[in-house]
Amino acid sequence: MSAGRRINTFSQSWGTPKKYVDAVKAVFDGSIDLDPCSNEFSIVHAEHEFMLPKNDGLREEWNYKTIYVNPPLRE
């Protein structure tokens, strides 16, 4: 399964394309407070990031005004 990617690799560190990050930041007045599922390759650059796999963002508090989670792609 490709998870919507054009090239299938063994990596499970998939990032949000820049055009989507820019669109989300535009809606959120220029910044994102929390990315609860971030990783070392992320270009989201939220104010607070729960880095996978060290932190499980699903177990942390999400008490932030603007939160972004990369949605799964549908084919």
Q: Which range (8-12, 13-17, 34-38, 46-50) has the least confidence? A: 8-12
CA 75 – CA 73 distance, rounded (Å)? 7
pTM above 0.85, yes or no: no
pLDDT given for residue 2 in this prediction: 47
64 domain-assigned: yes
CA 66 – CA 74 distance, rounded (Å)? 24
Which residues in the chain belong to E strands, given as ranges? 34-38, 48-51
Say how many domains are in the chain.
1
The domain containing residue 31 runs over which residues? 15-70
pLDDT given for residue 38 in this prediction: 87
48 domain-assigned: yes
- Read off the DSSP letter of residue 33: S
